[in-house]
Amino acid sequence: MTGAAPSICKLARDKSGSDTPGIQRSAPALALEMVESAGEPGGVPAPPIPRLVFSQVIGDSFRYQCDLGAGIFSAQAMPMDFVLAPPNAPTWCRIDSRYRLRFLGIPQDLACRALGRDTRDPMDFGPLHGRQNRDPFITHTLETLWQELALEDETSQLFLESAVTSLLARLERLAEQRSRGRAPRGGLAAWQSSRVLDYMREHLSRPISLCELAELVQLSPCHFARAFHQSHGLPPHRYLTRLRLEKARALLAQTGLSVTEIATATGYSSQHLARRFQRYMGCTPSQYRRQMI
């Protein structure tokens, strides 16, 4: 196992309750870890670690109660269902009968890199942390990762990175869908929204961290991220991306600045802007400018 970050082995134990998990698999180059373990009724180890942690049921159904950083909830765990704990969250869990679980721990820096987020982003997926979840794509991807890690093949790094990125993108989509399905509550005050959006627009040319935005309105990063999403319908990083691309679109249409200059003005390299812009508008910056002439 890699020593780059505390291991998810701290979350797992075998049937006897010892500290040795049943099966461990890893990709040291990515600091990616999976563990399969079983345990008896009672408390499940849940120390905070700097990893986004999936906990998936792979044995019989059981009843449990837990808090994964978004409030206490209880449920009847069914095979292939999963719960999700954000990095560094103080969590606890109590299970009513014998259980078998599979854990996946994605290092926070790997998750942030895969989603294009600031490395200090808390990797909060909102409602997914406060409920039991089921999704066929995630079930299939977790099983694929488990099988691939068993190969211990150094050439599989690209495949593993792709699978992790797909998994995280699916989490973002599920979090958005679940958020839209809930009655809105909380959110930022009008003065808070105004201050944050003005700050974003004034600093598009440089990196802006979640902590930086949260400090503007005197909230914790996790609380701010949730409140911003409730107020604006997008996570802060995606809203900032939209502001940058809209600024680039306006500069392409209204000025004679080069694409390189526009990229600098919106906080991107030329290549990064081209990729983002094409995904957003369906054409490259140069093609868009020609359409506007």
Predicted confidence (pLDDT) per residue in 117-175, tens digit: 777 778 889 889 988 998 889 998 999 999 899 887 767 888 899 899 999 999 988 98
Cβ contact 65:92 at 8 Å: no
Q: Residue 2 falls within a domain, yes or no?
A: no
Residue linked to tokens 């854990």: 103
- Pick 76 or 208 by higher pLDDT: 208
pTM (whole model) above 0.85:
no
Whether residue 238 sits in one domain with residue 122: no
* CATH code where residue 281 lies: 1.10.10.60
For 174-189, what is the mean pLDDT? 70
Whether residue 86 sits in one domain with residue 148: yes
* pLDDT score at 186: 67
Q: Residue 1 falls within a domain, yes or no?
A: no
Binning pLDDT at 50, 70 and 90, where does residue 32 land? very high
* pLDDT score at 261: 96
- State the chain's mean pLDDT as an integer: 84
Distance of alpha carbon 152 from alpha carbon 141, whole angstroms: 17
Predicted confidence (pLDDT) per residue in 258-291, tens digit: 999 999 999 999 999 999 898 888 889 998 888 7
Whether residue 143 sits in one domain with residue 274: no
Whether residue 229 sits in one domain with residue 153: no
Q: Which residues pair with residue 271 across a beta bridge? A: none
Distance of alpha carbon 244 from alpha carbon 281, whole angstroms: 13
* pLDDT score at 152: 72
* pLDDT score at 6: 56
Whether residue 247 sits in one domain with residue 210: yes
Count the domains in the chain: 2
Binning pLDDT at 50, 70 and 90, where does residue 62 land? confident
Q: Residue 236 falls within a domain, yes or no?
A: yes
Whether residue 195 sits in one domain with residue 175: no
Whether residue 274 sits in one domain with residue 256: yes
Nearest to 206 by CA among 259, 258, 261, 268: 268
The rounded percent of the chain whose pLDDT value lies above 70 is 89
Domain residue limits at 205: 190-292
Q: Residue 103 falls within a domain, yes or no?
A: yes
Q: Residue 3 falls within a domain, yes or no?
A: no
